[in-house]
Structure 1
């Protein structure tokens, strides 16, 4: 992020049923990025439902709704962030079918927690950038080719424009250098 040390605009959620562990990871990230904690699977899903989260650090072994269950639920909800399993559970071949983005075995030191946040932020930023470009290209060509009346008559255009605005805001928040977004507007998309 310009003028900051770390991933200040990233929103991370630490999920672990052991309060001391969750709070320790949150302390390691305090001042580095926005961080929130959840002490169980249900609470984690509630936080994700109610507020924007970019990166989830998720324990696998929790009573009630396990980390594996939370991961499955996030996948079914098409969660648009990144999930890092941070757990003492030794991985087995079952991880091949699990939809997480990284896997860290406890204990994890401060530098590794911050490094994984940085790495996942960059990946998410570029994924979001690609999605923004796909959506914005469609919106831009329709704006160039259709009259304002035709665009107003089509509800899909308004939904696409709103989605493009949301993706642009998120991309600008996540990318350390968002000048690539300005370059997108310089490309001529309407016929000469």
Structure 2
């Protein structure tokens, strides 16, 4: 794992080589960037030297969900940002990703999401969990109607967990100026 943003290794995983190459091209001046054209190639490459994985969810050989599960099963200490055209649904609640962005993703949003994950890695696990939980809540609130969310026990549990984590981290969050604003400024769904 690298200590600075410039030394960070980002692995872009997409079965469409052109898509992976475009993201890698956008990021190469800021991070060490590698590509894997599919889930199987990603699993062959993944180790603790990869700081952030940009992971497509829908791939024909080994899907992003399976790659994500394998990353966590292997206990690889990388941050995972799902970048996908798959609209989020309630299934994301139990998925162990760190962030979820819907394609197409603008370069500024991509860089902000990666930098956020690199910063979170330097702090304690509560901040990482807070970012994960609030990302899921933002996605669900953007995708579902308030009526659909109202009374959903899993969503209520996520909201309670976010509140608890935020209360526990007041001191840690003071290190991040306006973290909530910065977090909300990332466009997670195309407009």
Q: TM > 0.5 between the two? A: yes
TM-score tier by shorter-chain length is: 0.5 to 0.7
CA distance in structure 1 between the aligned counterparts of 2:45 and 2:98, rounded to whole angstroms: 20
CA RMSD, 1 decimal: 1.7
What is the TM-score when the length of structure 1 is the normalising length? 0.61
Distance 2:78 2:120 in 1: 10
Report the equivalent of 2:80: 83
Aligned-partner Cα distance in 2 for 1:65–1:47: 14
1:153 is matched with: none
* Aligned equivalent of 1:185: none
> Among 56, 59, 65, which residue is 2:56 paired with?
59
User: 1:66 offset after TM fit, Å?
Assistant: 0.3
Alignment partners' CA distance in 2, 1:20 and 1:81: 24
1:34 aligns to 2:29 (yes or no): no
**Deviation digits for residues 67-122 of structure 1, max 9, x if unmatched?**
00000111111121100000000011000010000000000011011111110000
Question: What stretches of structure 1 of length at least 5 have no aligned partner?
Answer: 1-5, 129-192
C-alpha distance in 1 between matches for 2:87 and 2:44: 27
Q: Kindly report structure 1 stretches of 4+ aligned residues shifted beyond 6 Å.
A: none
Structure 1 or 2, whichever has the larger Rg, is 1
Asked if the contact 1:28/1:113 (under 8 Å) is kept, the reply is: no
